[in-house]
Amino acid sequence: MKTLTVIGARPQFIKCAPVSRLIKEKNTEILIHTGQHYDPEMSDVFFDELNIPKPDYNLGIGSGSHGKQTGEMLVKIEEILSIERPDLVLVYGDTNSTLAGALAAAKLHIPVAHVEAGLRSFDRSMPEEINRILVDHISDILFCPTQTAVDNLKSEGITKGVFLTGDVMADALRDNLALAEKQSPILEQYSLKSGQYLVLTIHRPSNSDNPECMNDIIGAVSDSGVKTIFPVHPRTKKNLIDFGMWNKMPDNIIL
């Protein structure tokens, strides 16, 4: 069986790692990296550090409007599908890469499997919510992380091909605990002790593009007084600079 996997955003690299390793034990996997996250620190590093095989195709799409980005992905993925003729297309999450991969496959009558199916924010103003709904409704196999996700699909009339699998991020965490302990010096570098620090990430546009939300989040972390590691998303960094917050980080936040 040949599976073609489409990824492109940072979380998808992490999610696909344990699944890809298992697929390759008994089957063939073709990996497409759309290039949705175009910063090397946001993509290449994950292939190196998580032992993910290098992609067979790197589309190099980069940034752009939702329509431009998704459209360019759709055209290029369709071309690859016509060449590779996979038995299944596997997509993850709720990004433009997810939508483009699923839509290209569905239009070529190739079965689609969606990891993290059924998740809903019930906020149609979020681009990710539109992607989730559309992908779920054109998928043939839906892997749900929670019972709530299964129930969400049922309420939308989707009951066939639905599987409650649990959260693939839990698998990724288990797979990489030993690797992190061996290779990452961050605990020693910042004198961090178990149970005495936080990790902060901010990347949703509804948070990172809103100065009030950003101020509230940073303020809450500051008020906690707990030492916090903040690996900053490139767009989030730009916004923090634009909002005049980058050089005013509380002492307990380590960038």
Q: List the end-to-end C-alpha distance of the chain, in Å, as a whole number.
A: 44
Neighbours of 171 (CB within 10 A): 17
Closest alpha carbon to 22 in 181, 141, 171, 176: 171
Sheet holding 227-229, edge to edge: 197-199, 227-229, 253-254
Task: Look at residue 175 and tell me if it is in a domain.
Answer: no
Tokens of 36: 């949705």
Tokens of 15: 């999610």
What per-residue confidence (pLDDT) applies to 204?
81
What per-residue confidence (pLDDT) applies to 37?
64
Q: What does the pLDDT look like over 48-82, one tens digit per residue?
A: 776 776 889 999 887 788 999 999 999 999 999 99
Domain containing 227 equals: 185-254
Q: What does the pLDDT look like over 78-119, one tens digit per residue?
A: 999 999 999 999 999 999 999 999 999 999 999 999 999 999
Q: What does the pLDDT look like over 131-149, one tens digit per residue?
A: 999 999 999 999 999 999 9
| 190 and 155 inside one domain | no
Q: What pTM did the predictor assign? A: 0.84
Residue 154 has pLDDT above 80, yes or no: yes
| 143 and 41 inside one domain | yes
Catalytic residue among 33, 137, 203, 233: 203
The pLDDT-based confidence of 40 (bands split at 50, 70, 90) is low
Q: What does the pLDDT look like over 6-29, one tens digit per residue?
A: 998 878 888 998 999 899 999 999
Residue 46 has pLDDT above 70, yes or no: no
Q: Give the number of domains in the chain.
A: 2
The pLDDT-based confidence of 45 (bands split at 50, 70, 90) is low
What per-residue confidence (pLDDT) applies to 211?
95
One-letter amino acid identity for 213?
A: C
CA distances to 5, 55, 94, 133 from 119, rounded to whole Å, are: 20, 27, 9, 9
| 147 and 219 inside one domain | no
**How is 29-80 classified by DSSP, letter by letter?**
EEEEE--SS-SGGGTHHHHHHTTPPPPSEE----S--HHHHHHHHHHHHHHH
What per-residue confidence (pLDDT) applies to 11?
81
CATH of the domain at 85: 3.40.50.2000
Q: Count Cα neighbours of 192 within 13 Å in the Cβ-side half-sphere.
A: 19
| 115 and 216 inside one domain | no
Q: For this structure, is 37 an active site residue?
A: no
**What does DSSP assign to residue 21?**
H
The mean per-residue pLDDT over the stretch 218-245 comes to: 94
Task: Look at residue 179 and tell me if it is in a domain.
Answer: no
| 231 and 108 inside one domain | no
| 148 and 223 inside one domain | no
Task: Look at residue 29 and tell me if it is in a domain.
Answer: yes
Q: What does the pLDDT look like over 177-215, one tens digit per residue?
A: 888 888 888 889 999 998 999 999 998 888 999 999 999
Closest alpha carbon to 90 in 60, 120, 111: 111
The pLDDT-based confidence of 35 (bands split at 50, 70, 90) is confident
Residues 6+ away with beta carbon under 8 Å from 152: 118, 119, 120
Task: Look at residue 232 and tell me if it is in a domain.
Answer: yes
Cα dihedral across residues 14, 10, 159, 151: positive or negative: positive
What per-residue confidence (pLDDT) applies to 44?
64
CB of 164 within 8 A of CB of 144?
A: yes
Task: Look at residue 180 and tell me if it is in a domain.
Answer: no
Angle at 170 between CA 134 and CA 220, to 5 degrees: 85
